[in-house]
A and B are shown apart, each in its own frame.
Chain A
């Protein structure tokens, strides 16, 4: 079984400040890791993903995340946020080798609401 923990339910920051949204996961097997963003009354949009290779991955809108296997973490960062980054962010994991009806299933964290203040 897998689980995902987002350590902060809400993160308020000022515009142009750096931000880090924390994500830890638990899994007995290798996983793929994802960050999604959700704007109000919308579905989820993929920000970035880690499948293999370089542990630092870059995504859209200036976000990046670093996979740390020893700490089982996948924290999301942005060096300078904008008002438009205000949204809810979800960390998710997927077991790439899961078969049958489990293939492609995502396990989500609880979400972190990022609020950027002027």
Chain B
């Protein structure tokens, strides 16, 4: 149980375009989802916490207008990288919390490799 699906797994696009990444909880309802960015050979950097039905909470230094997060339902959160540029190329990972599950705080998707040309 507690499967998180992330789509697409890999995307390549031209500079200036916007890219949407989806994160779905397949067999549970997730009131909270997290979005991370991971640079090569580095740890996961939390970008924002996505709460269903409310605005996302962004970490310090993360541009809200650049990385738009929408959590419109209990099973879907989306991250849109607007007007993407090569420096936005990275590995993006989402995770979701199972409500009231204290012993495994987050279940992770398989990540999205974003490459901006």
Contacts and interface: CB of A to CB of B under 8 A. Distances in A.
A81 interface: no
B32 interface: yes
Give 3 nearest A-B pairs by CB, closest first: A43-B108, A44-B108, A104-B105
Given A9-B41, A106-B46, 8 more contacts: A34-B105, A41-B110, A41-B111, A42-B111, A49-B103, A101-B57, A104-B105, A109-B43
Q: How many of chain B's residues touch chain A, expressed as a range?
A: 20 to 34
A101 B103 contact: no
A80 B67 CA distance: 43
Contacts of B46: 105-106
Contacts of B91: 41
A14 interface: no
B7 interface: no
B113 A45 contact: no
Contacts of B108: 36, 43-45
Contacts of A113: 41
B42 interface: yes
Contact of B49 (A34, A105, A109): A105
B110 A43 contact: yes
Given A101-B57, A105-B49, A51 B43 contact: no
Interface string B103-117: 111101111010000
Contact of B105 (A32, A42, A111): A32
A108 interface: yes
The CB with the most chain B CB atoms within 10 A, among A42, A43, A106, A109, is that of A43
14 contacts: A9-B41, A41-B91, A43-B4, A43-B110, A44-B93, A51-B102, A101-B51, A103-B32, A104-B97, A105-B49, A106-B105, A110-B43, A111-B41, A111-B43
A108 B44 contact: yes
B103 A104 contact: no
